Amino acid sequence: MKLTPTVNLDVQPAIYFALGVAHAVREIYAEKSLIVTSARDSHTAGLHPEGLAFDMRTRDMEEGEASLVLARIKQILEPLGYDVVDERKSVKGPHFHVEYDPKGNERFYV
């Protein structure tokens, strides 16, 4: 896993779990290490300020590769209470946003 220079990894345990999943999926399906561009960040919206989100770089992957990685991460994480958002068209730069926001009985642990 690689971090861009401003990343604050003071995040909650649920995000460490998701970082591991994202790293493994990228290694398997894109043969590239995970690049985290944001984690706890008071200047962004969503759950970043609470340490419950991270963003991963997508521009180092081809379009089809990125779509496959997104599909696999969603398949694993969304049933466990995560939201995985395709932000490849974001004005802040292309990325996937992952946040832990469990509904109902969703949990990342049993």
Q: Which residues bind Zn ion (CB under 5 A)?
A: 55, 97
Q: How far is the CB of 104 from Zn ion (least distance, A)?
A: 23
Q: How far is the CB of 83 from Zn ion (least distance, A)?
A: 10
**Tokens at residue 88, please?**
């490849």
Smaller CB distance to Zn ion: residue 45 or 110?
45
Please measure the distance between the N-terminal and C-terminal CA atoms of the chain and give it in whole angstroms.
26
Smaller CB distance to Zn ion: residue 89 or 104?
89
